[in-house]
Chains A and B, each alone.
Chain A
């Protein structure tokens, strides 16, 4: 920690360092970039993984919070804050040259807060339309629907990219470029397309069948969850987190619950911890099964898709019997779980484990070793370890590139410290590695469940929680490992029953942001397959 402080002091003389839940550094905008560069490039502990980039509106100031971590030691986290007082034309410095994942995040901050980033080569708003009036996440946003009326008129997609760059003399120059050249053959993949895993919009320039360039557009399911959360109490927020990455609904919910519990100091009874962990792992299995299924479907194997869905139903049946839900199960609540397990729960789960193992073998014979499937996945969509880190691609995809990034292992929560499991890591970095990682993680999840299922202790399922939960003032982070990767909840509280600001780190957004890189030069058909192997969920990106 001392070395980090030294680096900070060297790079930014005006930095204010404070020890909160995480080590927090506040710097003026001018010194942000040198500081980030020093943190990123130092040799002892390079902070090369930007977990989250959070836009903030503190009333008098607009700013950004960066949550950083070294890729080789995920336990260390560092919070960097910068802010500007100019609300009319807020300008901050971009970190896109250091962290590729900042590209989309900074564009999102621009759309939501109106903060423009100097030196970001592409300053179009992300998620919202170009024509959107106002910046929704600012506290003074006018929610009058008349300002942004609903219309059925399609608008043209703008091709010009505004940017604001700093030249050698330190002057700011505004200019525009174009996304595509004039005679590019552009096809729109999405927003309504059978295999984009939702409503992603990839504008794709083709060179014959080969991908020349991709422009990622999103926001077709931007529901403003973060804004909604600011006016909801903490138990109410849980219902919205379920609908982010609905395939890992219960795991997302777990993150928010833990964040609030840690902030308030609520003790979760052991029985609830067991149920939560088992449910999380079951949820992971169902998420990976759906990922397998839709990946196969993207490669044109409809039968494999149906098989994946068939096994998934067995998990859903267990959910159904426990709490009546299938996809979204409302199981975790702050302080424990909502429903106790039913009497035959252990029996059902134990019956499921050997069944699933048998099916995994079947998948291997049926699809994993299919010669066509191999041709379609091996050496396709290569992502290096460095790319995975700089784009922040976590989860099975990041581990497919050889990056050990399992939150369950590095920042254990719930019962993950007590169970033994291997982190599945492959170094090939191609679609096939990502695909196999998911199947192997199903096996690991089964092992975790096996260790827990017989030892569920008796007792309460909910800890003592006040009827109205108020979180003490401060900033709180909590990461979990969802089916897609690292999901982080950030809560800034002013001591009220509502969060002042709530931000979700979306693993899918990182996965999408790397798509243009890894699919350039690939075939159109493989682009769809690579998308399947990255396994992103769009509502998680758009929030």
Chain B
């Protein structure tokens, strides 16, 4: 499949930058060839998925305000069918990490990500969530959320303008449209394993075990 074939209404493929890396992603996905029937079905499902990305705003700071601005009247996220912000992670499709993530927030970010239902995507919005931004040198800032969770699209800026966020979300739409849903093929960028080590024991964390809820004693 050619990246040019992925159509986004009113945005020709040439107008997107970084077509090469998306093409590389598509090539990797299609390395084993495609079944035509499944391919068509995939196309339909991906059309639905791409056009109904309900965001969960994991907003911690300034970028959250720009996300709000993007959803408000002037920019209107609703045009792309994305205005249905779900506050429950269970019902959201794309988590927009808007703002700095610090050490104390890291477990919570991971937990919210784990609570989301598949297929799920992550957009890192703003310099802080990409790399730590202006706070890279701080003692308690995580230099990029991709250390904790896999990230699909990075939207640079400090904070990014709503237009940049839209561009990022459209790129995400293109990426979703390239996925192979039925064959369960979706390449996830690896995140740094060192965060998956238990600091107390020094052992790697088994996510399955770790996610067992702690016994709840409040309802009995």
Residues 64-96 (chain B) with a chain A CB within 8 angstroms: 64-66, 68-69, 72-74, 87
Contact of A154 among B73, B111, B158 (CB under 8 A): B111
Given contacts A186-B218, A198-B64, A246-B62, contact A150 B106 (CB under 8 A): yes
Measured CA separation A77–B195 after assembly (Å): 47
User: How close is A459's CB to chain B, nearest CB, in angstroms?
Assistant: 32
Residue among B59, B65, B139 making CB contact with A148, cutoff 8 Å: B139
Query: Is A58 engaged at the interface, CB distance under 8 Å to the other chain?
Result: no
| CB–CB A151/B141 < 8 A | no
Of the listed residues B59, B104, B161, the one surrounded by the most CB atoms of chain A closer than 10 A to its CB is: B104
A152/B110 in contact, CB under 8 A: yes
B3 close to chain A: CB less than 8 A: no
**Which A residues are in CB contact (< 8 Å) with B69?**
309, 312-313, 316, 326
**Known A136-B139, A224-B140: A306·B72 in contact at CB below 8 Å:** yes
**Contact for B60 among A143, A151, A152, A198, CB less than 8 A:** A198
A-B CB proximity, top 4 nearest: A309-B72, A152-B110, A224-B138, A246-B62
Main SS at interface, chain A: loop
- The answer to whether the Cβ of A239 comes within 8 Å of any Cβ in the partner chain is yes
In the complex, residue of chain B having the shortest beta-carbon distance to the beta carbon of A311? B73
Selected A-B contacts with CB under 8 Å, 5 pairs: A128-B140, A150-B195, A199-B60, A222-B140, A316-B69
Bound complex: CA A305 to CA B83 (Å)? 14
Nearest to A240 among chain B residues (CB) is B134
For window 146-202 of chain B, which residues contact chain A by CB distance below 8 Å?
147-148, 158-159, 161, 194-199
Query: In the bound complex, what is the Cα–Cα distance between A192 and B109 (angstroms)?
Result: 9
Min distance, Cβ B93 to any Cβ of chain A, angstroms: 17
A149 touches B64 (CB 8 A): no
Q: Is the beta-carbon distance between B102 and A220 smaller than 8 angstroms?
A: yes
Q: How far is the CB of B94 from chain A (nearest CB, A)?
A: 15
- Minimum CB–CB distance for A260 against chain B, Å: 19
Q: Does B108 contact A (CB under 8 A)?
A: yes
Residue of A nearest to B111 (CB): A154
CB distance from B20 to the nearest CB of A (A): 29
- Give Cα A317 to B87, complex, Å: 30
Q: Chain B residue with minimal CB distance to A141?
A: B139
Using an 8 Å CB-CB cutoff, how does the interface string of A178-219 with B read, 1 for contact, 0 for none? 000000011000011110001100000000000000000001
- Residues on A with beta carbons closer than 8 Å to the beta carbon of B87: 193-194
A227 cross-chain contacts in B, Cβ below 8 A: 138-139
B210 CB within 8 Å of chain A: yes
By a CB distance below 8 angstroms, the chain A residues around B110 are 152
A316–B197 alpha-carbon span in the complex (Å): 44
Q: Bound complex: CA of A153 vs CA of B196, how far in Å?
A: 8
- Cα of A539 to Cα of B141 in the assembled complex, Å: 13
Q: Tell whether, in the assembled complex, residue B66 and residue A327 are in contact, meaning their CB atoms are under 8 Å apart.
A: yes
Is A228 on the interface with B (CB-CB < 8 A)?
yes
Q: Point out residues on A near B: beta carbons under 8 Å.
A: 128-129, 136, 141, 143, 145, 148-156, 185-186, 191-194, 198-199, 219-225, 227-228, 231, 239-240, 243, 246-247, 290, 305-307, 309-310, 312-313, 316, 326-328, 538-539
Instruction: For the complex, give the distance between the alpha carbons of A198 and B62 in Å.
Output: 9
Q: Chain B 14-37, CB within 8 Å of chain A: the 1/0 string?
A: 000000000000000000000000
Report Cα–Cα, A155/B138, bound state, in Å: 22
Complex CA gap A96/B141 in Å reads: 31
Q: Is the CB of A151 within 8 A of B138?
A: no
Q: Which residues of A contact B196 (CB under 8 A)?
A: 152
B198, B199, B210 interface centre (most CB from chain A within 10 Å): B199
List residues of chain B with CB under 8 Å of any chain A CB: 58-62, 64-66, 68-69, 72-74, 87, 99-100, 102-108, 110-112, 134-135, 137-142, 147-148, 158-159, 161, 194-199, 205, 210, 214, 218
Excluding A152-B110, A153-B205, A154-B111, 10 further A-B contacts by CB distance (< 8 Å) are: A145-B139, A153-B210, A191-B105, A219-B102, A222-B104, A246-B65, A309-B73, A310-B73, A328-B159, A539-B60
In the complex, chain A residues whose CB is within 8 Å of the CB of B60: 198-199, 220-221, 538-539
Q: Report which of A141, A192, A313 forms a contact with B108, defined as CB distance below 8 A.
A: A192
Interfacial chain B residues near A151, Cβ < 8 Å: 106-107, 195, 197-199, 205
CB of A246 within 8 A of CB of B61, answer: yes
Q: Which residues of B contact A191 (CB under 8 A)?
A: 105, 108
Per a CB cutoff under 8 Å, which of B138, B141, B197 touches A149?
A: B197
CB of B30 to closest CB in A, whole Å:
33
* Interfacial chain A residues near B108, Cβ < 8 Å: 154, 191-192, 220
Docked CA distance A409–B72 (Å): 35
Establish whether residues B59 and A198, one from each chain, have CB atoms under 8 Å apart when the complex forms. Answer: yes
Complex partner residue of A224 from B141, B142, B194, B198, CB under 8 angstroms: B141
A155 to chain B, nearest CB (A): 7
Within 8 Å CB of B107, what residues of A?
Answer: 151-155
A114 to chain B, nearest CB (A): 15
Nearest B residue (CB) for A199: B60
Report B67 CB to chain A, min CB distance, Å.
Answer: 11
C-alpha spacing A92/B104, complex, angstroms: 28
Find out whether the CB atom of A219 lies under 8 angstroms from the CB atom of B104. Answer: yes
Most chain A Cβ neighbours within 10 Å, of B87, B102, B135, B147: B102
Among the listed A136, A194, A231, A312, which residue makes an inter-chain contact with B140, where contact means beta carbons less than 8 Å apart?
A: A136
Chain B residues with CB under 8 Å of A326's CB are 66, 69, 161
Chain A residue numbers with a CB within 8 Å of B142 are 150
Q: Nearest-CB distance from A232 to chain B (Å)?
A: 9
